[in-house]
Structure 1
Amino acid sequence: MAALLTTSELAKALGLSLRSVQRYIAKAQITPALTAPGGHHRWDLDDVHTQLRELRQRTNEE
């Protein structure tokens, strides 16, 4: 299993601003691999790529 990323690390890896990633989270368009008891998310980059690809496909179909 690949190392899980913090939300800031995820934003950097995706080339997005932290605020953009936070918007995706707020709209439940991406879901974390893990949420710690304190509410901090951890992300699997490959999984997020898949989620974003599926989101684009759904958006294009609408």
Structure 2
Amino acid sequence: MADTAHRLVGTGEAARALGIDRTTLARWAAAGSVTPASRTVGGHLRWDLDKLRAQLAELGVGPATDGG
């Protein structure tokens, strides 16, 4: 879905797009391995999928190139 790449999505949706578990993505964010595009007032992470894929590709993590 082309539109998905240009909007911010929650952790669950981002993880599904990458083919990983949401807890894995949350753990990577907590460790500082990846950085969300923003955080809501309630503390929920929001992701730009293109930027997230680029971060993962930089780290050499497989799902970033999966096209998910």
Q: Which runs of 5+ in 1 are unaligned?
A: 58-62
Q: Sequence identity of aligned pairs in percent?
A: 42
TM-score normalized with structure 1 length: 0.82
- Displaced runs of 4 or more, over 3 A: none
- 1:29 CA displacement: 0.6
Which structure would you say has the larger Rg?
1
Number of matched pairs: 57
Cα displacement (A) at 1:20:
1.1
Q: State the TM-score, normalized to the length of structure 2.
A: 0.75
* 5+ long unaligned stretches in structure 2: 62-68
Q: Which has the higher strand share?
A: 2
